[in-house]
Structure 1
Amino acid sequence: MGWRGVLDFRLLLLYMSGMIEVQSMSDVWVELRGPRYVVHHNSATLRCNHNVDPEALYKVVFYQNGQRIMKFVRGRDPPYELYNVTGANMILSKLQPTTITLDKMDFTASGQYACEIALETPLYSKISNYHEIQVFVRQKHRPKIKLKHKIHFSSENLEAKCQSGPAYPAPHLTWFINNIKVDERLTIPHGTVKASRHHHGMPLSATISDLNFPLDSLQLYPDQTVEITCLSTIPSYATEFDGFADVLNTTVTAKTSRREPAPTQLPVKIISPEINVSNRCTLNLAIIVILLVCPYGF
């Protein structure tokens, strides 16, 4: 039996005695849980989740961008060892072996976080996957929509422009027509523009997007209105546990009109019978004059 088999056998004995919840090293898992986005100068609680019995847990270490920020060792006095945290303060009153809370998080606190657990008997350690945290600035106002025309014909394309409020990072824009998401192929992204304002030294940016939507795809009836919504979010997608970190939207109504089709033939001029009789008399008189002037032909 190799060393790994020996460890698994000892781990199985510990499991049978109730000291640990797993039967082999491959069954041990560890995961760092925390918010994906944190508002500037707010706090975040990070938890090192695992499936090891707390009585068997010997050591827990938290990392920020690969550097230690806290180490807990069972049986030591004091059990906690704290290190420098970039861009944040650690709240000591909330400190636990598998939980830390970072407060007043600055932009430099953004980065990758992880945690590691270790067992003393048997000797074993495992580190979690990295968890990305982004310190951000909320949007300063709702997105603004500008329609190219006041009235849109149902046979034409609806053209509009949307610009988000300034934020950090720049928001993502999504278009909706009558509460249905617009195909991105009908939108024209123009990237981001720097805003004139800053937030604690961090430059803010706004996002711009154009819409070019064919109204004939809606099969509108005459004088029907269309609702146009611009959704501005940070991030571009909702995370599994937190949803959107910041979301604002604006909806405007566009009037539509049906354009009458052009005539398919030239107009016909209708002449009254009286006018026809007058024209015949004039023609007969002209013929008589010609005969009198030229009695023998041309």
Structure 2
Amino acid sequence: MDTTLLATTLLLLPCLHAVAAGLRITKVEVPRYLIVGKQATLRCHLALEGDVLYSLKWWKDGKQFYQYIPQNNPPNVVFTVPGITVNPQHAELNEVELVDVQTTSTGQYKCEVVAEGPTFNTDVMAANMTILDTPDEPPRITGLEPNYRDGETIALNCTSSRSRPPAALTWAINGRQVGPEHLLTYPVVSEGKPPLHTSTLGLSLTARPHLFAGGTLDLRCSATLHEYVWRSDVTATLDNVTYSQPHHLPTLSKTNGSSGQGVSLSLLLLLTMMMLMMTVKATALAPLSHSPLLT
């Protein structure tokens, strides 16, 4: 190693040690996901290690919204930033509470600390927070029939409405997730400003007895927004009706076999009786003949 470089390194070692041993951030706590309207507590944990804190600042996407300087009176100051509402009753050195978070509150949150002189050590640590606008209701299942016959198609749709980001949908049959070969995807529909999204996922199955354990088929649709999950469950029944061959009335042309002979004989007797009855009826209605009067 070059003697000049070695000498420079040896001179810098005490300074590097002082920086490493000075003020630093040990941890930043920011909710990873949060629902619209909720509160978010931001925490910035410090280790002074011989330094004296001069200031602590919070930034969102490069814009400062909070400052804490211990020697000032008051020590804390709030700055206006879109999507940020600080609770003044809960704004301290290590914790800052945001209230009524909105989707515009989504972004990167950075804690910055600076030590007093002579070190003026500075440290920064950041974390992301995503605000979710969740559906107002569980996913809706449409197309379900009360029962199905063997071989019929089960065609259903599951829809999760008005969320940001769009909900991820899955289908499960009897507790087991359905593979892509039975799924039909639809484009996400967006409306409003800022937009809310509606997701739909179709399911197509052929009704078979092995799917209907105990005569029923349990179907579940799940809508997921990151760590939040909504579910809807439905049940279908397999129709146990059996089919028989259609029955046809016998005809006179069927004469082969004993059954056909019996039918022909019965019809012949019936026709004979009808002809006799018609003859008797005609005789009864005929006018009586009159004998000539005696003179």
Which TM-score applies when normalising by structure 1? 0.65
Instruction: Give the aligned partner of residue 267 of structure 1.
Output: none
Preserved contact between residue 152 and residue 254 of structure 1 (Cα < 8 Å): yes
Question: For residues 179 and 51 of structure 1, do their structure 2 counterparts lie closer, same or farther at Cα, with a shift above 3 Å needed?
Answer: farther
Question: For residues 184 and 275 of structure 1, do their structure 2 counterparts lie closer, same or farther at Cα, with a shift above 3 Å needed?
Answer: closer
* SS at structure 2 position matched to 1:92: strand
Structure-2 separation of matches of 1:259 and 1:86: 64
Instruction: Give the aligned partner of residue 229 of structure 1.
Output: 220
Q: Alpha-carbon deviation of 1:61?
A: 1.4
Structure-1 separation of matches of 2:87 and 2:74: 17
Instruction: Give the aligned partner of residue 63 of structure 2.
Output: 67
Preserved contact between residue 28 and residue 126 of structure 2 (Cα < 8 Å): yes
Question: For residues 255 and 53 of structure 1, do their structure 2 counterparts lie closer, same or farther at Cα, with a shift above 3 Å needed?
Answer: farther
Question: For residues 94 and 223 of structure 1, do their structure 2 counterparts lie closer, same or farther at Cα, with a shift above 3 Å needed?
Answer: closer
Question: For residues 62 and 228 of structure 1, do their structure 2 counterparts lie closer, same or farther at Cα, with a shift above 3 Å needed?
Answer: same
Letter in structure 2 aligned against 1:36: Y
Q: Alpha-carbon deviation of 1:260?
A: 8.0
Instruction: Give the aligned partner of residue 168 of structure 2.
Output: 172
Question: For residues 101 and 275 of structure 1, do their structure 2 counterparts lie closer, same or farther at Cα, with a shift above 3 Å needed?
Answer: closer
Instruction: Give the aligned partner of residue 254 of structure 1.
Output: 236
Structure-1 separation of matches of 2:125 and 2:43: 11
Preserved contact between residue 118 and residue 124 of structure 1 (Cα < 8 Å): yes
Instruction: Give the aligned partner of residue 35 of structure 2.
Output: 38
Q: Percent identity?
A: 19
Structure-2 separation of matches of 1:51 and 1:215: 64
Letter in structure 1 aligned against 2:203: L
- 1:166-202 CA distances to partner (integer Å, 9 max, x unpaired)? 333332222111222222443222132346xx6xx65
Q: Does 1:7 align with 2:15?
A: yes
Unaligned runs of 5+ in 2: 1-8, 244-255, 262-295
* SS at structure 2 position matched to 1:93: strand
1:1-298 equivalences in 2 (<5 Å): 1=9, 5-10=13-18, 29-40=26-37, 42-50=38-46, 56-120=52-116, 122-134=119-131, 136-147=132-143, 149-155=145-151, 158-194=154-190, 202-213=194-205, 219-220=210-211, 224-233=215-224, 235=225, 237-238=226-227, 244=228, 247-257=229-239, 272=257
* SS at structure 1 position matched to 2:15: helix
Structure-2 separation of matches of 1:125 and 1:259: 78
Q: Alpha-carbon deviation of 1:94?
A: 0.5
Preserved contact between residue 86 and residue 97 of structure 2 (Cα < 8 Å): yes
Which TM-score applies when normalising by structure 2? 0.66
Question: For residues 78 and 54 of structure 1, do their structure 2 counterparts lie closer, same or farther at Cα, with a shift above 3 Å needed?
Answer: farther
RMSD across aligned C-alpha pairs, in angstroms? 3.8
Unaligned runs of 5+ in 1: 239-243, 262-270, 277-298
- 1:69-90 CA distances to partner (integer Å, 9 max, x unpaired)? 1122333343323321213321
Structure-1 separation of matches of 2:176 and 2:158: 17
* SS at structure 2 position matched to 1:75: coil
